[in-house]
Structure 1
């Protein structure tokens, strides 16, 4: 239960009342002439929203555990339901979700490009995309650069795509520089990026490279949908970041960027379920992952993952609710034609100037 729903009072003789912090140990009250009174600060019918008994640990089961709280028919009580999804069950769930999304989104007609990392999210996405799209309208790529994507990850992605019959390109750093029109090198670009934004911003650099690569390959392949494995907590983290900065959420699960679209077929699926589809691949991916990130990103993901931990499916309910509330008027991404990037409403002139200086040092734009 949330500790902020309760107030702790130390009641002494003659109705002498003091508040005490919720973290006070009971043995710290030894010798006190009085008692502790804990009172709920809201009129809350706990039996209607929480199971009557605490959920206890169980014996060993292999798979990912999911929980749900279900009200009784008359709404007077709540019951907890648990399930364990092994790899085949998780794969079926994700594949069905992706196929249903593809049928509604029209991606088969538009063609689809997606990046595959050899980890949990993109591997699970690959199976669903292959089941939901014609082979000739689906293309995958993996870029190799430091911890953005390791060679081992690219090897796993290659094996996966060969098994599924998906056309797959592995792009090495020198090939990536030529593909994106980098005038220096990817190493030089990253060194400059780290100097400007800090050495803990590798995730953001990787996102920039992957999106720019996807857009470039989509143009060459005649595709206009870019599929990303953004999961439930990814979008919750992004949504919370937007809201605390006074902005409406960005569009999801389909995000227009010019004539192209970023599509998010697994947006409703929790990260843990995606990992359950291929446990060995997801573990290897985590072992290779760069350990550094920014505090802001850490906080956003901590809060995003906290929502379903506080109450099962709360995060999904919020995503559904915000989509209904803001789906027709999301926060917009604006195309900056000079820099060939899409920027949010948070990109003021000072931020843009910093990014422009960086990009002009490593890319050729227009007649420059």
Structure 2
């Protein structure tokens, strides 16, 4: 077994030891201790205390340390030990389906808690109930988007448990039309049957009509891929879900629709808005057109939700197609890394952006040609492709 050696992490708060193997690089060591690797400088400290800068982030320590001590100095004067140190308690449970990590109640270190499906569902239910109450929801019709995936299954269960809305006012709706998504219909039906809820299934032809296709029997999946090569069909799918829920809400006289977007979904969306120089869309509730959209899972991490129905989540993952959109991946990756970097940081950012949105978010524009709210005018080249997609011509239909 490879022996461990010591490095010194030196700051204004004093010296602390880091343990490393000779085969480790500085990148390996920093990742092990959750230190930002691009925010430190590395030196060899000679026998007389002289420091020699080493810019070799990926080289093995064995290759250059010799008999010297390696000293790591952060470039920012913050107390990393107070932030990252302390006890690290692990509370295991048999039959766990997920785990969470959070700051200890006394602030001294972290607690990792293993959770069974029932434990995970209890936490999700509590967060959903809080979000519904914060959004001003009373006992009124809620049009709830479901897909058979882990998020919407846990969301539906949590809304039922919350008691905020009577069962007869919980109206689950599933859109059909994207083959990979349609496979979740049986899972969605199962969760609705479990709670005695009637699942409204919007068939492919009706979905096409609501989306605005001139010819409802068109293969709109192929049509999208032809007009937007390289883009994920999920773009049209997410738009379609919102339009379908909106249409059902108008049909049933409801004023609120519910989306199963989780913490990482909402955070990636917020980061996109900020990177584009825009105020993020309000969470956990925001107005879009004639309806309000609710995001009860906005502070709930994906891993916690998956722990509620691990079997359904696995089936959903196995049915996925490969996503190739770099921009989408970029913002999701940033969101995931923030969730991992420090417990509660992602939720703090979303709460702050929520306050900003409540004060600064401008009402969405309405695109008359496509009959939908938009955050910004649709560029002409995209508009032309959308006309081709839906079978329209400028100023009318084909």
TM-score, normalization: structure 1?
A: 0.87
State whether residues 181 and 363 of structure 1, in contact with CA within 8 Å, keep that contact through their aligned partners in structure 2.
no
Partner of 1:333: 364
Partner of 2:6: none
Q: 1:16 to 1:288 in 2, by over 3 A?
A: closer
1:102 to 132, 152, 158: 132
SS of aligned partner of 1:81: strand
Partner of 1:112: 142
State whether residues 88 and 109 of structure 2, in contact with CA within 8 Å, keep that contact through their aligned partners in structure 1.
no
Q: CA deviation at 1:276?
A: 1.0
Partner of 2:345: 314
Partner of 2:196: 165
1:272 to 298, 303, 308: 303
State whether residues 144 and 170 of structure 1, in contact with CA within 8 Å, keep that contact through their aligned partners in structure 2.
yes
State whether residues 115 and 141 of structure 1, in contact with CA within 8 Å, keep that contact through their aligned partners in structure 2.
yes
The answer as to 2:43 corresponding to 1:9 is yes
Distance 1:38 1:47 in 2: 14
The answer as to 2:55 corresponding to 1:23 is no
Distance 1:233 1:182 in 2: 32
Comparing 88-97 with 305-314, greater Cα deviation is found at: 88-97
Distance 1:207 1:67 in 2: 30
Partner of 2:294: 263
The answer as to 2:312 corresponding to 1:281 is yes
Distance 2:193 2:351 in 1: 36
Specify every segment of 5 or more residues in structure 1 that has no aligned partner in the other structure, as ranges.
none
Partner of 2:104: 70
Q: CA deviation at 1:126?
A: 0.7
Partner of 1:177: 208
The answer as to 2:178 corresponding to 1:143 is no
Distance 1:95 1:365 in 2: 48
Partner of 1:84: 114
Distance 2:223 2:353 in 1: 38
2:166 to 129, 134, 143: 134
State whether residues 147 and 290 of structure 1, in contact with CA within 8 Å, keep that contact through their aligned partners in structure 2.
no
SS of aligned partner of 2:184: helix
Partner of 2:388: 358
Report Cα offsets for 1:91-128 as digits up to 9, x if no partner.
12222222333334344455211221111100011112
Distance 1:166 1:49 in 2: 46
Q: May I ask how many residue pairs the two structures share in their alignment?
A: 361
Distance 1:167 1:130 in 2: 13
SS of aligned partner of 2:144: strand
State whether residues 268 and 335 of structure 2, in contact with CA within 8 Å, keep that contact through their aligned partners in structure 1.
yes
Specify every segment of 5 or more residues in structure 2 that has no aligned partner in the other structure, as ranges.
1-34
Q: 1:367 to 1:137 in 2, by over 3 A?
A: farther
Distance 2:355 2:212 in 1: 40
Distance 2:136 2:47 in 1: 72
State whether residues 142 and 149 of structure 1, in contact with CA within 8 Å, keep that contact through their aligned partners in structure 2.
no
TM-score, normalization: structure 2?
A: 0.81
Distance 1:58 1:137 in 2: 39
Q: 1:8 to 1:251 in 2, by over 3 A?
A: same
Distance 1:181 1:59 in 2: 51
State whether residues 339 and 359 of structure 1, in contact with CA within 8 Å, keep that contact through their aligned partners in structure 2.
no
Q: CA deviation at 1:306?
A: 0.6
Report Cα offsets for 1:175-198 as digits up to 9, x if no partner.
433455532246533323212222
Q: 1:183 to 1:349 in 2, by over 3 A?
A: closer
